[in-house]
Amino acid sequence: MLFRSRSQRYRQPANDDQNNTWHNANRYHEDNANVAQLLIRGWRSYLKTARLLHSLENQLAELAAQVAPMANHATLSPRFDRQLFRTRSTQMQAYLNEARDGFTALKQAAERQQLAQVAWLAERLVAQIAAINRETATWSLRAWDSASPTLSRWQRRRLQHQEYERRLLAMRNDRQRRLAQAISLDDQQRLAKEVEAYTGRLARCRDALEKIENRLARLTR
């Protein structure tokens, strides 16, 4: 008979030669089963890591949009603990750049399958994203250092103008979006004027903010 059932094919043989052949066949099947299990576990781990990277990448993209209006704003004292961010800059863009560098390192560790490094980098990056999120939500309420009454006064002015800049930028962007969607000529003309007005106010606000920054730079030399 040319074909046998699996139970017949791997039935315990009687002599030594057949016994060795039987053990080799069994070992081959066990090895294949182990490889299959490893592949399944590896694939599941890959999918989990891929989902993590995708989620963190999306969070960084959203964070960049939140940080944009205040990206180059600086403070006299560090915003975060040095254990969380190594940069000595206090600009929000610098913190965001460090988080992006951490994401790049995380991807490289994932490609090399350095699981311990992946776990550590992911935990650190999640903490950095959360910290920047909190800062962007409360930055206008931040208490400034008060080295002198004059310095404090200019710091408050900078804070006010940074808040003005953020609001004007948001209003101008809103009008630009509405203008792009406007259908009637009246709406287009009205929104175009509003965009022009907010653009002018934004430019004047930024000019004033630059003067305040220059004054603070002279006071803190």
- What CATH number is associated with residue 130? 1.20.1270.340
Of the residues 142, 164, 183, which one is the last residue of a structural domain?
A: 142
Helix boundaries (H) for the chain? 6-9, 16-67, 92-111, 115-138, 149-181, 185-219
pLDDT score of 44 = 58
- Which of residues 218 and 164 earns the better pLDDT score? 164
CA distance 21 to 9: 11
The answer as to whether 5 is a domain residue is no
pLDDT band at 36 (very low <50, low <70, confident <90, very high): very low
162 and 208 co-located in one domain: yes
Is the pLDDT reported for residue 100 higher than 80?
yes
Whether this model's pTM surpasses 0.85:
no
Is the pLDDT reported for residue 4 higher than 50?
no
pLDDT band at 177 (very low <50, low <70, confident <90, very high): very high
* Burial class of residue 12, CB neighbours in 10 A (0-12, 13-18, 19+): exposed
Structure tokens belonging to residue 76: 């006299």
The answer as to whether 127 is a domain residue is yes
Is the pLDDT reported for residue 200 higher than 80?
yes
Summarised one tens digit per residue, pLDDT across range 101-138 is 999 999 998 888 888 888 899 899 999 998 888 888 77
Is the pLDDT reported for residue 216 higher than 80?
no
160 and 137 co-located in one domain: no
128 and 52 co-located in one domain: yes
CA distance 149 to 155: 10
The answer as to whether 77 is a domain residue is no
163 and 127 co-located in one domain: no
The answer as to whether 12 is a domain residue is no
**Domain housing 124:** 43-72+83-142
Of the residues 124, 142, 160, which one is the last residue of a structural domain?
A: 142
CA distance 23 to 18: 9
158 and 194 co-located in one domain: yes
107 and 193 co-located in one domain: no
Structure tokens belonging to residue 197: 């007005």
Give residue 7's identity as a one-letter amino acid code. Answer: S
181 and 129 co-located in one domain: no
Q: How many domains does the chain have?
A: 2
The answer as to whether 1 is a domain residue is no
31's CB contacts (< 8 A; 6+ apart) are: none
The answer as to whether 100 is a domain residue is yes
CA distance 162 to 31: 65
The answer as to whether 11 is a domain residue is no
Of the residues 103, 124, 142, which one is the last residue of a structural domain?
A: 142
Percentage of the residues of the chain whose pLDDT score is greater than 70: 69
The answer as to whether 117 is a domain residue is yes
| C-alpha closest to that of 59 among 96, 87, 86, 114 | 96
